Amino acid sequence: MIFGPAVDVRPLFPRERQALLGLLRTLSPAEWATPTVCPGWDVHDVVAHVLNDYMRRLSGSRDGYGGAIFADDETLPSYLARTNEEFVRASRQLSPQLLIELLDHLGPRLDAVWAAQDLQAPADLNVSWAATDIDSPAWLDIGRDFTEFWVHQQQVRDAVSVPGAEEPDLMAPVLDVFARGLPHALRMHDRPEGHTARLEVLGPAGGRWDAVRQDGRWQMARPHGEPTACVVMDQDTFWRLATRGITVEEARQRSTTSGDAELTQAITALLAVVA
């Protein structure tokens, strides 16, 4: 299958959330007001955005509520940018303590939604950065949400200079899910059947992922043999590149490449968020 083998992140949601809540309970008022890498958002705003994600997925995936209303000619990225900002602005009236309580209360309810999902069933929400022409499986949709929660936690940790939640068993699935964006990143580059592009991520949570040209498209494949193109970067560089915490140019400076230059350029432009 184009997306490769399933990644089951469902047991990890409670651990990721408890790491976040443990951090938030230690923050001072000044730290809640610390700017983050998200333009215009401080720590309070990022935490409110995570709450918005919880509420949106419970409303849609659990309750079947289709409340999204797009403005005229509004694209999905612009819709998300607008509604995310609206929720964050409204949430500035909420205390940090209430944000913590709401996340703690709603998190297990969202865990239960994921636990009931058939991982191979069609996703509730397609993962557009992995493919736009075929349906995503549920495991990739769930994995996408886990990566988002983990990344937002890292953004908070970066802002307040408190590292954490980087144990390989928590971080490795994030990188694994992000790597499923390889075929989409390569989609504009036609190559003969069997040509292979490889991403190698160094570090305790890293790994190797191949995309192979097969049946007229790029598909995830088990790494083997010598690739047509290869990019090597460390785990910190990869997750920040995939979420644009660093620029493509910065990621390329921090990577080593070999083989087909067009393919290595495409790999180092991989994006694993809606933008």
CATH classification at residue 193: 3.30.1050.10
Same domain, 37 and 120: yes
What is the number of structural domains in the chain? 2
pLDDT computed for residue 104 by the predictor: 98
Domain boundary (103, 130, 165) is at 165
If asked whether residues 115 and 152 sit together in one domain, one would say yes
Q: CA–CA separation, 136 vs 119, rounded Å?
A: 10
Last residue of a domain, one of 165, 191, 216: 165
* pLDDT number for residue 114: 97
Do 198 and 117 share a domain, yes or no? no
Whether 170 is covered by a domain: the verdict is: no
On whether both 101 and 203 belong to a single domain, the answer is no
What is the CB-side half-sphere exposure of residue 121 using CA atoms within 13 A?
7
Query: 21 and 152 share a domain?
Result: yes
Instruction: Note the pTM of the prediction, 2 decimals.
Output: 0.96
Query: Is residue 274 scored above 90 in pLDDT?
Result: no
Among 18-22, 78-82, 225-229, the minimum mean pLDDT is found in 78-82
82 vs 74: CA distance, rounded Å = 10
Full residue range of the structural domain in which residue 246 is found: 182-267
Mean pLDDT score across all residues of the chain: 96
Tell me: the pLDDT tens digits for 214-225?
999 999 999 989
Residue 66's pLDDT is 83
Please say which residue of 165, 192, 223 terminates a domain: 165
Residues contacting 202, CB < 8 A, separation 6+ = 232, 233, 234, 235
Q: Where are the alpha helices (DSSP H) in 58-165?
A: 76-91, 96-115, 138-160
pLDDT at 68 over 90: no
DSSP letter string over 178-204?
HHTTHHHHTTT----TT-EEEEEEEST
Is residue 54 within 8 A of residue 103, CB to CB? The reply is yes
What CATH number is associated with residue 85? 1.20.120.450
Beta bridge partners of 99: none
221 and 120 in a common domain: no
107 and 26, same structural domain? yes
The stretch 99-107 carries a mean pLDDT of 98
Buried b or exposed e, range 196-223, using 16+ CB within 10 angstroms: bbbbbbbbebbbbbbbbbbeebbbbbee
Q: Measure the CA–CA gap between 124 and 1, rounded to whole angstroms.
A: 19
Structure-block tokens of residue 129? 């950065």
pLDDT of residue 236: 98
Report the C-alpha gap between 150 and 173 in whole angstroms: 10
